[in-house]
Amino acid sequence: MTAGFPRARAVASHLEVLPHTGSTNADLRERAVDAHGWPHLSVLLTRHQTAGRGRLDRRWIAPDGASLAVSVLLRTVPAGSDARGWIPLTAGLAMAEAAATQLPGHDVTVKWPNDVLVDGSKICGILAEATTDAVIVGSGVNTAMTRAELPVPTATSFAALGAPVDEDRLLADYLSALDAWLARLTAADDAIASGLHAAVSARCGTLGRAVGVAMPGGSELRGTATAIDAQGRLVVTVDGSDHAVSAGDVVHVRPA
Protein backbone atom coordinates (compact mmCIF):
# COMPACT_ATOMS: atom_id res chain seq x y z
CA MET A 1 0.00 0.00 0.00
CA THR A 2 1.24 3.50 -0.82
CA ALA A 3 0.41 6.79 0.85
CA GLY A 4 -1.17 9.88 -0.63
CA PHE A 5 -4.65 11.30 -1.23
CA PRO A 6 -5.01 13.13 2.12
CA ARG A 7 -8.24 14.93 1.20
CA ALA A 8 -9.82 11.76 -0.14
CA ARG A 9 -8.80 9.89 3.00
CA ALA A 10 -10.64 12.49 5.06
CA VAL A 11 -13.86 11.61 3.19
CA ALA A 12 -13.50 7.85 2.76
CA SER A 13 -14.01 5.53 5.71
CA HIS A 14 -11.04 3.48 4.53
CA LEU A 15 -8.73 4.02 1.54
CA GLU A 16 -6.06 1.76 0.10
CA VAL A 17 -3.81 2.63 -2.85
CA LEU A 18 -2.35 -0.25 -4.87
CA PRO A 19 0.77 0.17 -7.04
CA HIS A 20 -0.89 -2.08 -9.63
CA THR A 21 -3.65 -4.68 -9.89
CA GLY A 22 -5.79 -6.57 -12.35
CA SER A 23 -9.13 -5.12 -11.28
CA THR A 24 -9.94 -2.87 -8.33
CA ASN A 25 -13.57 -4.07 -8.42
CA ALA A 26 -12.48 -7.70 -8.14
CA ASP A 27 -10.02 -6.89 -5.37
CA LEU A 28 -12.61 -4.91 -3.43
CA ARG A 29 -15.12 -7.73 -3.76
CA GLU A 30 -12.65 -10.01 -1.98
CA ARG A 31 -12.00 -7.46 0.76
CA ALA A 32 -15.72 -6.73 1.22
CA VAL A 33 -16.24 -9.95 3.21
CA ASP A 34 -14.56 -8.09 6.09
CA ALA A 35 -17.40 -5.75 7.02
CA HIS A 36 -15.51 -4.35 10.00
CA GLY A 37 -12.30 -3.52 8.18
CA TRP A 38 -14.05 -2.42 4.99
CA PRO A 39 -17.17 -0.43 5.98
CA HIS A 40 -19.43 1.75 3.85
CA LEU A 41 -17.52 4.18 1.61
CA SER A 42 -14.29 2.16 1.63
CA VAL A 43 -12.11 2.85 -1.40
CA LEU A 44 -9.55 0.85 -3.37
CA LEU A 45 -7.63 2.60 -6.14
CA THR A 46 -4.65 2.33 -8.46
CA ARG A 47 -2.99 4.19 -11.31
CA HIS A 48 -2.13 0.91 -13.04
CA GLN A 49 -5.00 -1.51 -13.71
CA THR A 50 -4.29 -4.33 -16.13
CA ALA A 51 -7.59 -6.22 -16.37
CA GLY A 52 -10.35 -3.66 -15.87
CA ARG A 53 -13.84 -4.31 -17.16
CA GLY A 54 -16.70 -2.15 -18.33
CA ARG A 55 -20.30 -2.97 -19.11
CA LEU A 56 -20.96 -6.24 -20.95
CA ASP A 57 -17.48 -7.48 -19.93
CA ARG A 58 -15.71 -5.04 -22.22
CA ARG A 59 -12.00 -4.83 -21.36
CA TRP A 60 -10.64 -1.52 -20.11
CA ILE A 61 -6.84 -1.12 -20.28
CA ALA A 62 -4.70 2.00 -19.96
CA PRO A 63 -0.95 2.65 -19.83
CA ASP A 64 0.65 2.67 -16.39
CA GLY A 65 0.02 6.01 -14.68
CA ALA A 66 -2.29 7.33 -17.40
CA SER A 67 -5.56 6.82 -15.56
CA LEU A 68 -7.11 6.42 -12.14
CA ALA A 69 -9.11 3.27 -11.38
CA VAL A 70 -11.32 3.73 -8.31
CA SER A 71 -13.68 1.26 -6.65
CA VAL A 72 -16.01 2.31 -3.83
CA LEU A 73 -17.82 -0.05 -1.47
CA LEU A 74 -21.41 0.98 -0.73
CA ARG A 75 -23.09 -0.80 2.17
CA THR A 76 -25.81 1.77 2.89
CA VAL A 77 -28.00 1.55 -0.22
CA PRO A 78 -31.71 2.07 -0.94
CA ALA A 79 -34.11 -0.72 -0.02
CA GLY A 80 -36.23 -0.57 -3.17
CA SER A 81 -34.98 -2.15 -6.38
CA ASP A 82 -36.09 0.87 -8.47
CA ALA A 83 -34.00 3.22 -6.31
CA ARG A 84 -30.99 0.83 -6.30
CA GLY A 85 -31.08 0.91 -10.09
CA TRP A 86 -30.06 4.57 -9.86
CA ILE A 87 -26.69 3.83 -8.24
CA PRO A 88 -24.67 3.83 -11.53
CA LEU A 89 -26.31 7.11 -12.55
CA THR A 90 -25.61 8.51 -9.07
CA ALA A 91 -21.93 7.67 -9.49
CA GLY A 92 -21.90 9.21 -12.97
CA LEU A 93 -23.45 12.41 -11.67
CA ALA A 94 -20.99 12.57 -8.77
CA MET A 95 -17.98 12.08 -11.04
CA ALA A 96 -19.31 14.63 -13.55
CA GLU A 97 -19.74 17.19 -10.78
CA ALA A 98 -16.23 16.47 -9.48
CA ALA A 99 -14.64 16.70 -12.92
CA ALA A 100 -16.51 19.88 -13.83
CA THR A 101 -14.86 21.81 -10.99
CA GLN A 102 -11.47 21.20 -12.65
CA LEU A 103 -12.65 21.75 -16.21
CA PRO A 104 -14.06 25.28 -16.35
CA GLY A 105 -15.26 26.23 -19.77
CA HIS A 106 -15.91 22.62 -20.79
CA ASP A 107 -19.25 20.83 -21.10
CA VAL A 108 -19.18 17.92 -18.64
CA THR A 109 -22.15 15.59 -18.99
CA VAL A 110 -23.43 12.14 -18.11
CA LYS A 111 -24.05 9.82 -21.01
CA TRP A 112 -26.80 7.37 -20.11
CA PRO A 113 -26.28 4.87 -18.55
CA ASN A 114 -22.70 4.89 -17.28
CA ASP A 115 -20.22 7.29 -18.89
CA VAL A 116 -18.94 10.79 -18.16
CA LEU A 117 -18.24 12.94 -21.21
CA VAL A 118 -16.32 16.17 -21.69
CA ASP A 119 -17.30 18.14 -24.79
CA GLY A 120 -18.89 14.95 -26.10
CA SER A 121 -15.86 12.66 -25.57
CA LYS A 122 -15.58 9.98 -22.89
CA ILE A 123 -13.33 10.69 -19.94
CA CYS A 124 -14.73 8.17 -17.45
CA GLY A 125 -16.68 4.92 -17.42
CA ILE A 126 -18.71 3.57 -14.49
CA LEU A 127 -19.43 -0.06 -13.57
CA ALA A 128 -21.62 -1.00 -10.58
CA GLU A 129 -21.65 -4.59 -9.34
CA ALA A 130 -23.74 -6.08 -6.53
CA THR A 131 -22.33 -8.38 -3.86
CA THR A 132 -24.45 -10.35 -1.39
CA ASP A 133 -24.84 -7.37 0.93
CA ALA A 134 -23.34 -4.34 -0.81
CA VAL A 135 -22.68 -2.60 -4.11
CA ILE A 136 -19.24 -1.92 -5.58
CA VAL A 137 -18.98 1.06 -7.92
CA GLY A 138 -15.90 1.13 -10.12
CA SER A 139 -14.81 4.06 -12.25
CA GLY A 140 -11.94 4.58 -14.63
CA VAL A 141 -10.88 8.17 -15.21
CA ASN A 142 -8.50 9.18 -18.00
CA THR A 143 -6.11 11.52 -16.23
CA ALA A 144 -2.60 11.68 -17.77
CA MET A 145 -3.38 9.80 -20.99
CA THR A 146 -1.93 11.59 -24.02
CA ARG A 147 -3.86 11.99 -27.26
CA ALA A 148 -1.71 9.26 -28.82
CA GLU A 149 -2.62 6.89 -25.98
CA LEU A 150 -6.38 7.41 -26.19
CA PRO A 151 -7.96 4.08 -27.24
CA VAL A 152 -10.58 5.54 -29.61
CA PRO A 153 -11.22 8.92 -31.26
CA THR A 154 -14.27 9.45 -29.04
CA ALA A 155 -12.20 9.34 -25.82
CA THR A 156 -10.47 12.18 -24.01
CA SER A 157 -8.46 12.85 -20.86
CA PHE A 158 -7.49 15.73 -18.61
CA ALA A 159 -4.05 15.76 -20.24
CA ALA A 160 -5.48 15.73 -23.76
CA LEU A 161 -7.65 18.69 -22.79
CA GLY A 162 -4.61 20.56 -21.50
CA ALA A 163 -6.05 20.56 -17.98
CA PRO A 164 -3.70 19.38 -15.21
CA VAL A 165 -5.76 17.33 -12.77
CA ASP A 166 -5.54 17.31 -9.00
CA GLU A 167 -6.31 13.62 -8.43
CA ASP A 168 -6.74 14.00 -4.68
CA ARG A 169 -9.25 16.83 -5.10
CA LEU A 170 -11.05 14.91 -7.87
CA LEU A 171 -11.39 11.82 -5.71
CA ALA A 172 -12.41 13.75 -2.59
CA ASP A 173 -15.05 15.70 -4.52
CA TYR A 174 -16.32 12.50 -6.15
CA LEU A 175 -16.63 10.63 -2.86
CA SER A 176 -18.32 13.58 -1.14
CA ALA A 177 -20.88 13.97 -3.93
CA LEU A 178 -21.46 10.22 -4.23
CA ASP A 179 -22.04 9.84 -0.49
CA ALA A 180 -24.32 12.89 -0.33
CA TRP A 181 -26.48 11.87 -3.28
CA LEU A 182 -26.64 8.27 -2.13
CA ALA A 183 -27.72 9.37 1.36
CA ARG A 184 -30.56 11.41 -0.16
CA LEU A 185 -31.59 8.53 -2.41
CA THR A 186 -31.48 6.03 0.46
CA ALA A 187 -33.48 8.28 2.80
CA ALA A 188 -36.24 8.85 0.23
CA ASP A 189 -35.93 5.43 -1.46
CA ASP A 190 -37.08 7.29 -4.54
CA ALA A 191 -35.07 9.08 -7.22
CA ILE A 192 -37.69 11.76 -7.86
CA ALA A 193 -38.38 12.63 -4.21
CA SER A 194 -34.65 12.77 -3.43
CA GLY A 195 -33.97 15.27 -6.23
CA LEU A 196 -31.59 12.84 -7.92
CA HIS A 197 -33.84 12.37 -10.95
CA ALA A 198 -33.87 16.11 -11.64
CA ALA A 199 -30.11 16.47 -11.10
CA VAL A 200 -29.21 13.56 -13.39
CA SER A 201 -31.67 14.70 -16.05
CA ALA A 202 -30.18 18.20 -16.00
CA ARG A 203 -26.64 16.83 -16.36
CA CYS A 204 -27.49 14.10 -18.91
CA GLY A 205 -26.19 14.95 -22.38
CA THR A 206 -28.11 12.06 -23.95
CA LEU A 207 -31.50 13.72 -23.50
CA GLY A 208 -32.89 15.65 -26.42
CA ARG A 209 -30.62 13.91 -28.91
CA ALA A 210 -31.44 11.62 -31.79
CA VAL A 211 -30.03 8.25 -30.76
CA GLY A 212 -29.60 4.74 -32.01
CA VAL A 213 -29.95 2.12 -29.28
CA ALA A 214 -28.22 -1.15 -30.20
CA MET A 215 -29.98 -4.10 -28.58
CA PRO A 216 -28.39 -7.48 -27.75
CA GLY A 217 -30.31 -9.34 -30.47
CA GLY A 218 -28.86 -7.14 -33.19
CA SER A 219 -31.87 -4.84 -33.62
CA GLU A 220 -31.63 -1.07 -33.26
CA LEU A 221 -34.09 1.39 -31.79
CA ARG A 222 -33.77 4.77 -33.50
CA GLY A 223 -35.53 7.82 -32.11
CA THR A 224 -35.11 10.74 -29.73
CA ALA A 225 -34.00 10.33 -26.12
CA THR A 226 -36.70 12.32 -24.37
CA ALA A 227 -36.45 11.43 -20.67
CA ILE A 228 -35.14 9.22 -17.91
CA ASP A 229 -38.03 7.55 -16.12
CA ALA A 230 -38.48 6.95 -12.38
CA GLN A 231 -36.64 3.61 -12.62
CA GLY A 232 -33.62 5.14 -14.34
CA ARG A 233 -34.53 3.77 -17.76
CA LEU A 234 -33.94 5.83 -20.90
CA VAL A 235 -37.15 6.81 -22.69
CA VAL A 236 -36.71 6.83 -26.47
CA THR A 237 -39.54 8.30 -28.52
CA VAL A 238 -40.06 6.70 -31.93
CA ASP A 239 -42.83 8.04 -34.20
CA GLY A 240 -44.75 9.37 -31.22
CA SER A 241 -44.44 6.18 -29.13
CA ASP A 242 -42.30 5.99 -26.00
CA HIS A 243 -39.99 3.04 -25.41
CA ALA A 244 -38.26 2.63 -22.02
CA VAL A 245 -34.98 0.74 -22.19
CA SER A 246 -32.89 -0.40 -19.23
CA ALA A 247 -29.11 -0.54 -19.14
CA GLY A 248 -29.26 -4.32 -19.07
CA ASP A 249 -31.16 -4.34 -22.37
CA VAL A 250 -28.77 -2.03 -24.21
CA VAL A 251 -25.50 -2.72 -25.98
CA HIS A 252 -24.76 0.87 -26.95
CA VAL A 253 -26.43 4.27 -27.16
CA ARG A 254 -24.95 6.56 -29.78
CA PRO A 255 -25.96 9.66 -31.73
CA ALA A 256 -28.14 8.61 -34.66
pLDDT tens digit sequence for 70-126:
999 999 999 888 899 999 999 999 999 999 999 999 999 999 988 999 999 999 999
pLDDT at 60 over 80: no
Report in angstroms the alpha-carbon separations of 213 from 90, 247, 256: 22, 11, 9
pTM: 0.92
Task: Summarize pLDDT for 4-22 with one digit per residue, the tens.
Answer: 899 999 999 999 999 999 9
Compute the distance between CA of residue 96 and CA of residue 115 in angstroms, rounded to an integer: 9
Q: What are phi and psi of 187, to 5 degrees?
A: -65, -40
> How would you class 30 by CB atoms within 10 Å of its CB: exposed for 0-12, middle for 13-18, buried for 19 or more?
exposed
Pure H helices in the chain? 6-11, 24-31, 81-84, 87-100, 167-188, 191-194, 196-203
> Domains in the chain, ordered, with CATH?
6-202 (3.30.930.10), 207-255 (2.30.30.100)
Pure H helices in 79-166? 81-84, 87-100
How does strand 42-46 pair with strand 67-74? antiparallel
